[in-house]
Amino acid sequence: MRLNAVIAGVGMTRFGKHLDKSLKQLGGEPVLEAVKDAGIELSDIEAAYVGNCAAGTVTGQESIRGQVILSSIGLGKIPIINIENACGSSSTALNQACMMVSAGYYDVALVVGVEKLYHENKAITYSAFSGAVDIEERDKFIAEVTAGQSEGSGQTRSVFADFYGVMARDHMRDYGSTPEHFAMVSAKNSFHGSLNPKAQFTEALTVEEVLAQPMITEPLTRPMICPVADGGAAAIIVSERKARQLGIERPVRLVSSVVHSYFEHPPGAEENVSSLCIDEAYYEAGVGPEDLDVLELHDSSAPCEILYYEGLHLCPPGDSVKMLADGETKLGGRLPVNTSGGLLRKGHPVGATGVSQILELTYQLQGRAGKRQVEGANVALAHNGGGTIGGEVAAMNINILVC
């Protein structure tokens, strides 16, 4: 279907360690900021879609997370839909809001992504990630990604850290990449994050400094794996008619929003959940990778970013390391990637990550990104997925925005 969805306003907390803030605060603050940014009132919102992944595990809040969060700022009565879909929870919430606005059911919809991951007991935090696999296959998965050395996996580190280590070692074997290349991703994104006041980490690191950090899982040091974080992000989605009524200058339109899930296929098949989403999004939007000006992708680890360069068709097969080394994905390069700092430096409060990507791209397309502004940005893509089944992402979301 043709999307009829415009981003009217956005808001976001700073991502980081917020032991002193409740889930309500982390979710409510960005909503009020987004409402102000859109120039509307809370009472104008007709429906809300709330993405969260781990509140039940970390805070104990189940079932009515969105209702609890939004009632704390005076928003109720309207339909409030809770959505959990791994790391893509709030991107999926965005998709559902856009579909309902495009179908004509609502003129104004709210999308919220929120997560509180930090806990005094780290094992509780990491247990939230352990549920993002098929739990009947979890022991087998851990044994595979840790090569039998599973001590601490899921307790002192996320099981996905070990998974990323396997990905990194496989990429080194197959493509000749090195730990220095992974460090280049982290250094690039640290530079971008140093320009983002909402990022969890704002210190710019050199390649040498990244390599000198503690090893988490061979060959990945701490800055090569995204940190856990607390935080929230929100967006107001309106119809084109409502956007005209609001007099929005430089409206950002969502021209494609695609969600797909893991499906069984032969090993090495050309079509998988990621390729299906990506190809459909480009087709639906009527653009190709050559048209993109700026991109936020799911760099849950440094090797993930390198792999996704090819997966998103940003470069020919085998050229992803060259694309990175040539500086094409850094600010000032041909196609800046993760200008927000990405998950590696902005942080990864799982349920909030997808909407935070939309906030960054909205700022870029409207010329509001400050020191990290990509000049002349008109077309942007957000890539956000999570969970794993069969060694592949379980839920994938692609959104394409134009201004």
Q: What is the pTM of this model?
A: 0.96
Q: Which of 104-108, 135-139, 203-207 has the lowest mean pLDDT?
A: 135-139
- Which one from 18, 53, 87, 403 is the annotated catalytic residue? 87
Has residue 149 got a pLDDT over 70? no
- Going by their DSSP bridges, the two strands 108-115 and 231-238 should be labelled as antiparallel
- Cis peptide, bond prior to residue 219, ω within 30 of zero: yes
Residue 348 annotated in active site = yes
- Which one from 171, 181, 260, 348 is the annotated catalytic residue? 348
Integer angstrom CA distances of residue 278 from 131, 244, 254, 287, 312: 26, 30, 15, 11, 6
Q: How many CB atoms lie within 10 A of CB 17?
A: 15
Find out whether 384 and 244 touch, Cβ atoms under 8 Å.
Answer: no
Domains detected in the chain: 6-119+229-253 (3.40.47.10), 122-227+255-402 (3.40.47.10)
What pLDDT, in 10s, does the model give residues 166-187? 999 999 999 999 999 999 999 9
Residue 155's pLDDT is 65
pLDDT bin (cut points 50, 70, 90) of residue 73 is: very high
Has residue 1 got a pLDDT over 70? no
> What percentage of the chain carries pLDDT values higher than 90?
86
HEC string for the chain? CCCCCEEEEEEECCCECCCCCCHHHHHHHHHHHHHHHHCCCHHHCCEEEEECCCHHHHCCCCCCHHHHHHHCCCCCCCCEEEECECECHHHHHHHHHHHHHHCCCCCEEEEEEEECCCCCCHHHHHHHHHCCCCHHHHHHHHHHHCCCCCCCECCCECHHHHHHHHHHHHHHHHHCCCHHHHHHHHHHHHHHHCCCCCCCCCCCCCHHHHHCCCEEECCEEHHHECCECEEEEEEEEECHHHHHHHCCCCCEEEEEEEEEECCCCCCCCCCCHHHHHHHHHHHHHCCCHHHCCEEECCCCEHHHHHHHHHHCCCCCCCCHHHHHHCCCCCCCCCCCECCCCHHHHHCECHHHHHHHHHHHHHHHHCCCCHHHCCCCCCEEEEEEEEEEECCEEEEEEEEEEEC
Residue 267's pLDDT is 80
Stretch 347-352: mean pLDDT:
97
pLDDT bin (cut points 50, 70, 90) of residue 342 is: very high
Find out whether 40 and 108 touch, Cβ atoms under 8 Å.
Answer: yes
- Going by their DSSP bridges, the two strands 47-51 and 108-115 should be labelled as parallel
> When comparing pLDDT for 329 and 134, which is higher?
329
Residue 130's pLDDT is 82
| Angle value at C-alpha 99, between 97 and 105, nearest 5 degrees | 80
| Mean pLDDT taken over the chain | 95
